[in-house]
Structures are given as structure tokens and as C-alpha cells.
Amino acid sequence: SRTIRLAVIPGDGIGQEVVAEGLKVLRAALPSDVKLETTEYDLGARLYHRTGETLPDAVLEELKGQDAILLGAIGDPSVPSGVLERGLLLKLRFAFDHHINLRPGKLFPGVQSPLAGQPEIDFVVVREGTEGPYVGNGGTLRTGTPQEVATEVSLNTAFGIERVVRDAYRRAQARPRKKLTLVHKNNVLVHAGHLWTRIFEQVGREFPEVTTDYLHVDAATIFFVTQPERFDVIVTDNLFGDILTDLAAAVTGGIGLAASGNINPSGDFPSMFEPVHGSAPDIAGQGKADPTATVLSVAMLLEHLGFAAEAAQVEAAVAADLTERAGARSTSEVGDALAARVSG
């Protein structure tokens, strides 16, 4: 029998509530001979206020030995913007080299899209997770003066681009439509853009069956709304991927359904699964948050750990639940319903 060591970081706001439901469904979905060993880490605003720390070194060390991480949400209005984001969430993504930030954009049957005509939407964004403008490369000069200057220099390495692009090609190759779209802004961001474009073409020679396409990010936002069915797999940089995946969530039923995986395919460090949404302090503690995004992230976690059938079962439970949704249910009612479906 197998043991899964799972680190659980509920974090702030609704993170607490949705993670509890995610775990409920995970326990229901795992085969009975698999032992789930969870360790909860109280990270986020509470720890920060108590000790001033965001991610203690000892915790980071402990996390290294886990098989995966389930994270709820990070961020609180009582903490200055950026402190928890950079000091905890991005620190984990960078420390564990989560270079594949996988974010499906799927419109489930029965879910109302704000787009006319309920288009077929089933794509996946492969967002680069460890480079781009997220690296914190920059600074300010002449702070507080009218001559103040701030830079935020995007870092793009051939190594970093190649590995995410190859991963995206592999995913495209494995899907029925075998289509990969590179999204960038290579008409303006020529330095990074040309490197991405060149590597995209080079790696593409290894995948003759994959149809490729290129879109500038601004044009991509139009097509997300007017023709989302044209997308299959999308590969893009860290910041473009952040923005596009919120838009993807909006057109597929909202941020309450959007799942993600921060993946390190080498397995050297644990991958981390989290809903795309934030901590939603305005509705925290009221049992109103939809745990579905977390449950779909649990499905990605199962898939990543090699439980493909169980992952499919969880996704099917969500699909069935979404077609039958009527009236408002609390966070735990949705979790209970999903757990009952996978164990039934």
C-alpha cells in the first residue's frame, strides 16, 4: 500500500474553508489502501502578524519532503500588498521550481458562460512559473522625488523558455486537436519575444503533428471572448499567463471554478495545487465560497501523483454537480455533495 504525504496550506480568508472541502473530496476519492498523511502549515497573515515571518526556513525544509502541497489562498488586507504574495506564494513557486503553471480553461456543461451562444471551451494554459516579470528584478531610484524611476525587468532564459515550451508541445501532442498557440507580444517586447518565438519554432520541429499558431497577447484577449473554441493548448510567459487565466476563468463560469497546478515535473520538489482565486476577505468565514476550484485542483493533484482514474472520477463528480446545480449552497454542502459522488 502507498502513503501520500500531503502538505496543506489553507492560508488566508476563504482558503481555510475551500481547503477543508478539497480534503474531504480527496479522502473520498483515494483508493482505500492508500494512506493520506496530511501536515497542516499555518502560513499567511496570522503567522505574519505573530512573528513577522512569511515562510520560515524550517517550514520550507519540511515541505521539501512532502509529495505535494494543497494551498487555499494567500493575501489579507491587513498585510501590505506584496508581502505575502512575494514572501510566501511566489517564494514557494520559485523555491520548488514550479516552472509549469497549468491552468485549464474548461466550460462544463450546464455552466453559464457570459459569452453568447455557450461556446465550446476546453483549453489549457501552460503558464511559465519561475521567470518573466515575476522574478523581482528591478528597483527604484530617487525614491519620493519627482524624478523617481522604477524598473521591473523581465527575466527570460533559453533554458526556462525551452522547458515550458517543450512541456506545452507534449501536452498538445497528447490531446485530440494537437494545437499549440504561443502568446506573447513580440512586436514590442522584441528581446524576450524573439527568444520565445525562436525557441517555440525550434522545439516545434520535434513535434511535426502539432499545429502551431502565434498571437499577440492583446489579440489573444479578443479571441478568448469572441472565439474561445479556437484554443487547445496555450503557452505563455508568467505575467501574460496570469492575466489570461483570470479571463479564462471569467468566460468559463467564474473564478470559483478555476483550478491550477504549479508543477515541477522532475519530482525533485513537491508540486503545489491551488485554486486560481484569492482569499476573498469580503466573503471569508461565511460558508459562501465555492470549493469547486479547489476540488478541481485536487483532481489535478491526483493526476500528478499517478491516480488518473481517481482524478477523472473527481472531475466527473464536479461535472455532474454543475449540471444539477440549483439554488445557493454553502461551501460544505458543495463539498459534501462532491465527496458523496466520488465515494458512491
- Judged by the rule CB under 6 A, the positions of this chain that interact with ligand IPM are 85, 89-90, 242, 276
| 106 in active site | no
How far, in Å, CA of 275 to CA of 104, rounded?
A: 11
| The Cα angle at residue 254 between residues 248 and 256, in degrees rounded to 5 | 120
Query: From CA 93, how far away is CA 260, in angstroms rounded?
Result: 12
41 among known catalytic residues: no
C-alpha cell recorded at residue 317? 463528480
Pairwise CA distance, residues 285 & 13, whole Å? 7
Verify whether residue 242 is a known catalytic residue.
yes
128 contributes a contact to Mn ion by CB under 5 A? no
* Nearest CB to ligand IPM, comparing residues 90 and 299: 90
134 is catalytic: yes
Partner interacting with residue 336 (select from ligand IPM, Mn ion, none; CB below 5-8 Å by kind): none
Residues in binding site? 93, 103, 127, 218, 242, 246, 278-290
Q: CB nearer to Mn ion: give 102 or 302.
A: 102
Q: Are 69 and 63 in contact (CB under 8 A)?
A: yes
The partner in contact with residue 314, picked from Mn ion, ligand IPM, none with C-beta cut-offs of 5 to 8 angstroms by kind, is none
Please, which residues bridge with residue 149 across strands?
A: 141
Phi, psi of 219 (to 5 degrees): -65, -35
| Given the residues 185, 232, 237, 321, the one annotated as active site | 185
Three-state secondary structure string covering 193-234: HHHHHHHHHHHHCCCCCCEEEEEEHHHHHHHHHHCHHHCCEE
Q: Does 290 bind Mn ion (CB under 5 A)?
A: no
User: Which residues does 24 contact at the CB level (< 8 Å), separation at least 6?
Assistant: 335, 336, 338, 339
To ligand IPM, the closest distance from the beta carbon of 43 in angstroms equals 14
CB of 122 vs ligand IPM, minimal distance in Å: 20
Residues annotated within a binding site for substrate: 93, 103, 127, 218
- In the sheet with 179-184, reading across from the earlier edge strand, the strands are 34-40, 2-11, 68-73, 271-275, 259-263, 100-106, 122-128, 233-236, 179-184, 211-216
Segment near Mn ion (CB under 5 A), from 7-15, 72-80, 154-162, 238-246?
A: 238-246
* Cβ–Cβ under 8 Å, residues 283 and 289: yes
Return the one option of Mn ion, ligand IPM, none that residue 258 interacts with (CB less than 5 to 8 A, by type).
none
Nearer Cβ to Mn ion (26/74): 74
| Amino acid, single-letter form, for residue 78 | S
Annotated binding site for Mg(2+): 218, 242, 246
Q: In terms of CB distance, is 11 or 204 closer to ligand IPM? A: 11
- Provide, rounded to whole angstroms, the least separation between the CB of residue 84 and ligand IPM: 8
Q: Which of 21, 242, 310, 315 binds Mn ion (CB under 5 A)?
A: 242
Which candidate in 134, 169, 237, 321 is catalytic? 134
Instruction: Provide the annotated active-site residues.
Output: 134, 185, 218, 242, 246
What residues make contact with Mn ion under the rule CB under 5 A? 242
